[in-house]
Amino acid sequence: MTDTIDPRSWLYPTPRGLYCKPGDFYIDPAVAVPRAVVTHGHGDHARPGHRAALATPETLAIMRTRFEGMPDTSQQPLKYGESVRIGGVDVELAPAGHILGSAQAVLAYKGQRIVVSGDFKRRPDPTCPPFEPIPCDVFITEATFALPVFHHPSDMGEIGKLLRSVATFPERTHLVGVYALGKCQRVIRLLRAAGWDKRIWLHGSLLALCKLYQEQGVDLGDIAHVSDAILETFRGAIVLCPPSAIADRWSRRFADPVPAVCSGWMRVRARARQSGAELPLIISDHADWSELCQTLKDVGAPKVWVTHGREEALVHMARSLGIDAEALHLAGREEEGT
């Protein structure tokens, strides 16, 4: 353990985001900055308008899809496991297992190593490589589901619930609410793995990112836009859409649909009912409580900084494990629909 320098002297939160002083760059800044390291493509981590952005090639591709090609941003791809030195700081990206291209930023400076995990999960995901625990001096962890009530069940079990419901109500359309980036494509892959080889219909806002995933080599099978079909086609069909579309005018085209929502929040009944889900499916791209606790043990960092989510519970847990833990309040982090 190297404790010669104070980690806060070279990496600390600012109103624009987490700032690395010797490297003069921000990690997942909340606003456009001169130089940014971006862990993954979700909107609260990847923002448009940076002068220069460093990220995995997949994340840069996602950003180009979301931000109209990003012609004004100088883009520096860095593959998993490769390293680059920026102002005396060695920067490496390691898989985070969250979505396609998602990475932990591994920063080494003067013999001290800080890992910024970004968002992560520990269970297998057919659309991205698994989280890699990196031993470090300081581990910065997310805390989206950091309460002991969050235990995500097996994702294939949840997909099984969806397919049983489709078998029980063969006349009805199953409208499945999914986050457009990551969740959508993972659910499609899980459905394929569970043997659903029929066409999966998509809301228009999911098309571009599915196309990108296909270009990146993720096989999604037979997918199509709902507006290309006539009404009768949707009986017994599975249609994916953003969660907000379930209660929107768009959904009126389906007769008597079964609204399903895929999210870690579905674990809590009040949240599931708020979402309008008749069939809540607990499928999350974030670590649950036991994965968060296990990860703290796996990386073995003596210091842990906890960001976005229920920080106090994870700080409490880390301290009970003898870890020097504190909450790190970052600007611009919102609760995702994941």
Partner 1 sequence: MQAFAALLDALSYQPARNAKLRLIEAYLKETPDPDRGWALAALTSGLDFPAAKPALLRGFGEDKIGAELFHWSYDYVGDLAETLSLIWQADAAAGPPPTLGEVVDTLQTATRMQTPAILQRWLDSLDATGRWALLKLLTGELRVGVSAPLAKQAAANIGNQPVNAVEEIWHGLTPPYRPLFDWLLQGAPRPSSNAGGAFLPAMLANPIERAELEVLDPTHFRAEWKWDGIRVQVAASGGVKRLYSRAGEDVSAAFPDIIEAIDFEGVFDGELLVRRDETVASFNDLQQRLNRKVVTPKMLKDHPAHVRLYDVLWLEGEDLRALSFDQRRARLEAWNAEKPRARFDVSPLVIFTDWAHLAELREQMTSDGIEGLMLKRGDSAYLAGRPKGPWFKWKRDPMLVDCVLMYAQRGHGKRSSFYSDFTFGCWREAAGKRELAPVGKAYFGFTDEELRWLDKWVRDHTTNRFGPVREVAPELVLEIAFDGIARSTRHKSGLAMRFPRINRIRTDKPAAEADTIDNLLKLLGTAGVEKPAESAYVTAP
**What is the closest distance, in whole angstroms, from the C-beta atom of residue 313 to partner 1 in the complex?**
5
Whole-number Å distance between alpha carbons of 230 and 89: 57
Binding status of residue 120 toward partner 1 by CB under 8 A: no
Binding status of residue 151 toward partner 1 by CB under 8 A: yes
What's the CA angle centered on 240, arms 131 and 144, to 5 degrees?
A: 40
Q: In this structure, what are the phi and psi dihedrals at residue 200, rounded to the nearest 5 degrees?
A: -110, 125
Stretch that binds partner 1, among 97-105, 110-118, 186-194, 247-255 (CB under 8 A): 247-255
**What is the closest distance, in whole angstroms, from the C-beta atom of residue 169 to partner 1 in the complex?**
10
Binding status of residue 140 toward partner 1 by CB under 8 A: no
Among 96, 202, 313, 323, binds partner 1 (CB under 8 A): 313
**109: Cβ contacts below 8 Å, ≥ 6 apart:** 10, 22, 23, 88, 89, 90
Asked if 73 and 50 count as a contact pair (C-beta separation under 8 A), the reply is yes
Asked if 127 and 189 count as a contact pair (C-beta separation under 8 A), the reply is yes
When the beta carbons of 248 and 324 are compared against partner 1, the nearer one is 248
Binding status of residue 277 toward partner 1 by CB under 8 A: yes
Stretch that binds partner 1, among 44-52, 206-214, 230-238, 269-277 (CB under 8 A): 269-277
Binding status of residue 57 toward partner 1 by CB under 8 A: no
Among 222, 312, 326, 335, binds partner 1 (CB under 8 A): 312
Among 71, 167, 252, 334, binds partner 1 (CB under 8 A): 252
Binding status of residue 273 toward partner 1 by CB under 8 A: yes
Which letter does DSSP use for residue 251 in this model? Answer: G
Whole-number Å distance between alpha carbons of 97 and 151: 17
Q: In this structure, what are the phi and psi dihedrals at residue 52, rounded to the nearest 5 degrees?
A: -135, 140
Binding status of residue 251 toward partner 1 by CB under 8 A: yes
When the beta carbons of 99 and 277 are compared against partner 1, the nearer one is 277
Whole-number Å distance between alpha carbons of 118 and 228: 37
Q: How far apart are the first and last CA of the chain?
A: 35
Among 268, 294, 298, 300, binds partner 1 (CB under 8 A): 268
Stretch that binds partner 1, among 100-108, 209-217, 225-233, 265-273 (CB under 8 A): 265-273
Stretch that binds partner 1, among 149-157, 187-195, 203-211, 232-240 (CB under 8 A): 149-157
CA 303 to chain centre: 24
Structure tokens at 23: 């490297």
Describe the strand order of the beta sheet including 74-77 as a list of residue ranges: 11-14, 17-20, 25-27, 35-37, 52-55, 74-77
When the beta carbons of 133 and 309 are compared against partner 1, the nearer one is 309
Among 24, 51, 149, 156, binds partner 1 (CB under 8 A): 149
Among 316, 321, 331, 335, binds partner 1 (CB under 8 A): 316
Whole-number Å distance between alpha carbons of 221 and 170: 22
Whole-number Å distance between alpha carbons of 316 and 318: 6
Binding status of residue 148 toward partner 1 by CB under 8 A: yes
Binding status of residue 244 toward partner 1 by CB under 8 A: no
Q: Can you give the binding site for partner 1, defined by CB under 8 A?
A: 147-151, 153, 247-249, 251-252, 259, 267-270, 272-274, 276-280, 310, 312-313, 316-317
